[in-house]
Amino acid sequence: MTVSSADPAELRMYAGRSTGLLADVAEATPAVASAVAALQTALPDAFKLTSTVDLTLPALGRARGVDVQVSVTADVFEQAGRGEGGVVTVDDAALPPLTPIFDQVTLDALTARLTDELTTLRERLASGSADETTLAELVGLLDMARILTDRGEVEGRGVEVAEGLVEHMGAGDVRVMLDMLEAAALEDDGLAMATGGFEDLAIVVSRGLEAQPARTERWVDSLTEGHDWFDGPPEGLVALAALGAPTTRTFGLAVWDEINQPRPGPPSLVTPRDARDGGLLDTMFDTTHAPQVVVRAAIDRPALANGIVLGADIDEFEELFGEPYYDVPRPRSMAGDLDALLVSSIDPSLPLNVRLSAASHAMTMVNEASDLAGTYRDETLTTLGTMTRPLLSNLDPNVGTIVFEAPAGGDATESADPLWDAAARLGNTDPGAAGLRTGLSGALDDLVASGRTDSASEPIKLETLGRLRRVREQMVTSVAGGRLDAIEADVESGGRTRDLDTTILDALGATPAEPVTVLVETVQNYRGDNAVEVVEGGSILGHQSEAAMTYRLVLANLAARPDLATPELMQGLTQAGIEGLADDDRRSAAIDRYL
């Protein structure tokens, strides 16, 4: 509870004088408007007034509003009655609400003033002259600092304002504040106030340090200096990391790295100061396991989740998201939290390049796993499958790579190879295939919506479509088929020259639109030496070339439409397609079956 004090008589005097004057101005306004209107009428046409003043003086409304607020505030103080020493104090919650109106100049001015107030407070704390009102003042100032940075955030200057607030602060100041807040949390009626203070301090500190990773690390080092890790991570610091602003990651990641350092003794569990109810973390996050606290926070903070995923090398990634090793005890419920963190790391609210980085990193981890199904839980495999979505959504079929807007402007590209490899591996597990299905379904919607398929058709585009189709074939069901067809229809509707892919599909459909000889020629032209090399160099699942893909597609469809399997077609397919199949058994089977 934050409190304010005032002498109601002072407030009354102010309100009485100012309100009367502003009323006089308002009363005079119609006369001004009337006189100017009369002059305008009297002026000859060529000399009319051109600049018109807003004589309704809308700004007056704001001035009257804040003065009315003083009147209401005076009422509240009067009703509260005088306390000890004649001072009237009331709970801030009982005072009329304010709608902050800040422009840049006033925001800067208030930032400077708040910094001064914090400095004074710190000096009082350091000199030992703090009293029982100091905590309330601290909480109140932190509340105000939070309001300021929130307002700065609205105006796109959140970091700048927060940096101004923490500019003259040191880790020692934060330590003092944390100590006060932690002590308050132990009091019977202090937990709510302390929680609010932690939240506000975390918001301000995380925003203020966001662009200063080196300073952040120094702060975290300083804040943990002398801490006995045998008691587990420091509770206040973990709370501060978890409660940071949603768009920030620097401070949270620095604490995350610190609490995950290998240390002797019981790992990760915070020893709550308040044994009665599990302490601050237990109250806010329903756990005292420090990493789980941060993970749970990151589920709602995509920037932090993204940083955690990107910061994990293969060993850390598997230790974190894989089946727990026997020597890494952690709460059973944390596994679900970690899956949610993976999803959060590619949240659509993040910049696209940042989302793609996390998704691509996850695919690399999938490819590096020696035993995918043995390392990850089924739920995690499904989640990893769904993480293909942003990558698939941003495939450019025309160049066969993942294309996105680079942070520095212009387009950047990323190889799709890790995606194809990971898709093949995930598709070989039922949970992974289920995740892929979800990812692909959404991605195909995204692709159609993006219009990225609506451009000239080239072999590379066909390869991409073929690979997408290959991913679809790996699915347990083919729910994504309709959407893939939609992409192909989208290409078709572009009015361009028919390409191989649509030609084949048409030829194998109910009403073949092209002569079979054209089909054969296109299949033959489509197969190239390079494609064969690709097939021979890669695994059947991961590196199918477009030639082999097309050939397999033709064979599969011919099984349903044997009437189309003319000798001419089959001869062409034999020449073109069989060479494209590196797998001897499959090639033999194809020959045996169709020739």
Partner 1 sequence: MTDQLPVPEREASTAVSHIDGAIDLLETAIGTRATHAADLTSWSGVKRLAWDEQWAYSQGDLAVAIDDLQTARAEVTRRVDEIRDHNAEVRRAEAAAELAVPWVLPTGLGSARS
Judged by the rule CB under 8 A, the positions of this chain that interact with partner 1 are 2-7, 10-11, 13-14, 17-18, 21-22, 24-25, 28-29, 31-32, 34-36, 38-39, 41-44, 47-55, 57, 59-60, 62-63, 65-67, 69-70, 73, 92, 95, 98, 100-103, 106, 109-110, 113-114, 117, 140-141, 143-144, 147
Our CB check for partner 1 shows the closer of 20 and 482 to be: 20
Minimum Å distance from CB 86 to partner 1? 10
Minimum Å distance from CB 90 to partner 1? 9
d(CA 275, CA 592): 75
Q: In this structure, are residues 457 and 501 in contact, taking their beta carbons and an 8 Å threshold?
A: yes
Minimum Å distance from CB 392 to partner 1? 49
**C-alpha angle 470/476/482, rounded to 5°?**
60
Our CB check for partner 1 shows the closer of 26 and 340 to be: 26
**CA nearest to 321, candidates 366, 262, 269, 258:** 366
Minimum Å distance from CB 187 to partner 1? 20
Q: At what angle do helices 171-186 and 235-242 cross, to 10 degrees?
A: 100
The dihedral built from the CA positions of residue 482, 487, 492 and 495, taken in this order, carries a sign that is: positive
Contacts of 276 (CB under 8 A, 6+ apart): none
Contacts of 46 (CB under 8 A, 6+ apart): none
d(CA 380, CA 360): 16
Please enumerate, as own/partner, the contacts of 158-162 that have beta carbons within 8 Å and a separation of 24 or more.
Answer: 158/207, 158/245, 158/247, 159/207, 159/208, 159/210, 159/211, 161/107, 161/111, 161/207, 162/203, 162/204, 162/205, 162/207, 162/208, 162/210
Minimum Å distance from CB 243 to partner 1? 19
Our CB check for partner 1 shows the closer of 27 and 228 to be: 27
Our CB check for partner 1 shows the closer of 149 and 464 to be: 149
Minimum Å distance from CB 107 to partner 1? 9
Nearest 5°: phi and psi at 261?
Answer: -65, 135
Our CB check for partner 1 shows the closer of 56 and 333 to be: 56
**CA nearest to 251, candidates 319, 307, 296, 316:** 307
Minimum Å distance from CB 69 to partner 1? 7
Our CB check for partner 1 shows the closer of 31 and 314 to be: 31
What Rg, from alpha-carbon coordinates, does the chain have? Answer: 34
Minimum Å distance from CB 36 to partner 1? 5
